[in-house]
Structure 1
Amino acid sequence: MNSNQAALARKQIDRRLAPLRAAKPALPPRGWLRAIREALGMTTRQLAARMKVAPSRISAIEKAEVSGATTIKTLREAAAALDCTFVYAFVPNKPLEEILRERAARKAALDVARLDHTMRLENQALLKSDLDDERRRMVDLLSSGSLRGLWEDD
C-alpha cells in the first residue's frame, strides 16, 4: 500500500471508529454475556440449551469473559444464542494520524538530538531555529514515507 492509500485508509478507519471513541463503552462488572442474559431473564440452563453445551459451561464462559480468557469464537456463539451481534474492534485512543505524527516527532527528536550532540562535539553547534526546522522536516518525512521504519525501536 503506498503512502497516499495508507493516509486514505487511516482517514476512513478514523471516521468509522470516531463514534466508538466518543462513546467509550464500559464493560459491565460481570461481563456482557451475563448482563445481557440476566436482562433477558434467561437462566444459565436456558442459554446452555440454546448453545448446545452443558450449563456449567455457561458459568465458565462468563467467568472467562470477565478475566479475558475466552475466545472470539465462543463470544460469537454466545451472542448468536442471545440473538445479539458480537462486535469486535480496536478503537484508537486518538486519531491514527495523530498517533503517527507523535511517533514521528519522538523519532525525529532523538535523531536531531544525536545530530546536535555530534555537531557540538565538532564545535559546529546549530542554532535552535535550525534544529527546530530539521525536526519539523524529519517529522514530515517520517510520517509521509514508508511507515515501517517509524515503529522500529532504536
Structure 2
Amino acid sequence: MKASHIELPPEGWLCTVRKALGMSAAQLARRLGVTRAQVSKTEKGELNGTVSLKTLQNMAEAMGCRLTYAIIPDTNVEDILAARAQQQATRRVEEAHKHMALEDQTLSQDQIKFEVERLQKDILQNPPADFWDDEA
C-alpha cells in the first residue's frame, strides 16, 4: 500500500484552496463567524503545524470542502514489518553468536544468514510483545 507523494502547497492548503475559490480571507471569516486575523493566523498555523484538525475541518467546510486526514507509510506496510523483523532477528542472532563464540562454537556466515532469515519468518508470523521496542 504505497500512496503517491503529495506536497503541501507553499501557502498551505487552506490559503491555496480559498484563493482558488476566489474567496477573500474576510469572506471566509464571515462564514466562520471569526475575524479575518483569525483566518490568517489559522492559515499560518497550518504551515507551522499548530492548527488543530477540528479547525482545519471547520475551515474546509466553510469553503464547501471536506478535510481528508491520512497517515501514509513511506513504503508498503509489509516492507516495514519485514525490515523490523529482520532488524530484531539480526540482533538476536548476533547476541547468540557472541555467546557461542565465547564457547568456541561460532557459526559460518551462511549459517548466520540462514538463522536470521528463519528467525525473521518466525517473528513475522508471531510478532513478540516487544516488536516495536527499541534497544536503549
Interval of TM-score (by shorter of Structure 1 and Structure 2): over 0.9
For normalisation by structure 1, the TM-score amounts to 0.84
Deviations 1:23-48 (A, max 9, x none): x1110111000001111111111000
Measured in 1, the distance between the counterparts of 2:8 and 2:129 equals 33
Deviations 1:67-108 (Å, cap 9, x if unpaired)?
Answer: 110000000000000111101000001110100000010111
Runs of 4+ in 1 over 6 A off after TM superposition: none
Residues 120 and 97 from structure 1, CA distance in 2 versus in 1: closer, same or farther, beyond 3 angstroms? same
Report SS of the residue matched to 2:80. Answer: helix
Distance in 2 (CA, whole Å) between partners of 1:147 and 1:64 is 40
2:77 is aligned with 1:116: no
Deviations for 1:3-61, whole angstroms, at most 9, x for unmatched residues?
xxxxxxxxxxx3xxx4xx12x11101110000011111111110001111111110010
Mind listing any 5+ residue stretches in structure 2 that lack a counterpart?
Answer: none
Cα offset for 1:133? 1.4
How many residue pairs were aligned?
Answer: 135
Amino acid at match of 2:19: E
Q: Distance in 1 between matches of 2:113 and 2:18?
A: 57
**Following the alignment from structure 2 to structure 1, what is the Cα–Cα distance between the partners of residues 44 and 128?**
40
Q: Between Structure 1 and Structure 2, which shows a larger proportion of helix residues?
A: 1
| 1:59 alignment partner in structure 2 | 40
Q: 1:131 aligns with which of 91, 94, 112?
A: 112
> How much identity, in percent, do the aligned residues show?
34
Ranges in structure 1 where 5+ consecutive residues have no aligned partner: 1-13
Q: How does 1:1-154 map to 2 (within 5 A)?
A: 14=1, 18=2, 21-22=3-4, 24-146=5-127, 148-154=129-135
